[in-house]
Each structure stands twice: as C-alpha cells, then as structure tokens.
Amino acid sequence: MAGVGFELKKLFTARTALGHIKAYTYSAIVTSGPFLLLTGMMLGVQLLFRIHGVSLEERNLFLAPVVYSFIFSQIFTSPFTMVLTRYLADCLTTSFLRDVTSSLFGMGSLLVLPAGILAAFFLKDSPIPLLSKSLSVLFFLELTLIWVEILYLSAVKRYKRLISGFSAGVLAAILLCALLLQLDFLSPP
C-alpha cells in the first residue's frame, strides 16, 4: 500500500499524543480493515444460516472455501504486491504516473492464470460438487485481483471511501444473503 506509508509518516511527524493515536488508529484500520470486514460478514452470514436452519454441513461448505480463498489469495499475492508497492511508491515519489495503470492490468493478467491453476489443483480431489468447486476457484481469482487493486486504490489516498466501499459491499452481501434465504433460494434441493 504505497500511499499509506507516506500518509503515516506525515501523521507521526505531528509529535503529539493525539497525532500518534490518530496514526496508530489509521494504520490499524488500513492494514486490518479487510480482515475485520470479512470476519464481520462471515459472522453475519453464519448467524443468518443458523436462523434459517441451514445444516452444519451446508454452513461448512460455504465457510471453508471463503476462508481458504481469503487466506491463500493473500499468501499467493503477497510477494507480487511487495514488489508492486515499491514500484508504485517510486512512481508516486518521482511523479512518473504514465505506466501505473498498465502495471495494474499487467499484474492482474499475470496472476490470473497461475492462481486459477493453483486453485484448481487444490480442489481437484475435493469431494464437494463441481459447481461449488467452480465458484470457489472464481472467488479465489476475484480475491487475488482485489488484493492487487487495493494496493493501487490505497495510492489514491481516499481511505475513508475505500473503507466505506468495502463496508457497503459487506452490508450488501449480508442483505442479499438474508433476502435469498428468506426466498428459500439458498435452500439445499
């Protein structure tokens, strides 16, 4: 997250207690925000599943791919995002912004194929249905791209909008899940 370091450096130069509290809070939200939002979403969805009587097996069939995809997509993308963070920070420092967009699309396209192969290999012997496997691979690919995109979005320095957007997505997912459960759309056949 290239823009975050510069912003934190400004906050820590305030040399006041309030400035340091603001800097620590800011860094905690930016670094752990996606994890906390995913955790909140998973707890909300699991609560809805319980309220609507979804079996433990079906709940686990939902929970396992989401958690595995979240963890392994971060592990898979972290070496690439470390390099991209340095590149993006250098581009921002030198005001050389011409290749920033192409590096986003280039890294995304470079990661999709190996990520898809990795996810398919991981799920090939899994006893879950083919539709669940396919959706799990798709979710893994989406998260892989999201981690790369977050890096670039953080450089825009609109952190409140990022957190608001992620929060709105979590709320929309929970509300959509509640609606689909209410309509019996998510019930097993």
pLDDT digits (tens, 9 = 90+) for 109-119: 999 999 999 99
**Between the CA atoms of 9, 10, 12 and 15, what dihedral angle is there, to the nearest 10 degrees?**
140
Q: What's the rounded Cα separation, in Å, for the pair 13 and 20?
A: 9
AA letter at 69:
S
Q: Where residue 2 falls among pLDDT bands split at 50, 70, 90?
A: very low
Tens of pLDDT, residue by residue over 52-99, are 988 888 888 888 888 889 889 999 999 998 888 888 888 878 887 888
Is-contact 140 73, C-beta < 8 A? yes
As to burial, measured by CB atoms within 10 angstroms (0-12 exposed, 13-18 middle, 19+ buried), residue 92 is middle
pLDDT (0 to 100) of residue 11? 56
As to burial, measured by CB atoms within 10 angstroms (0-12 exposed, 13-18 middle, 19+ buried), residue 170 is buried
The pLDDT mean for the chain works out to 83
| DSSP secondary structure letters along 19-31 | HHHHHHHHHHHHH
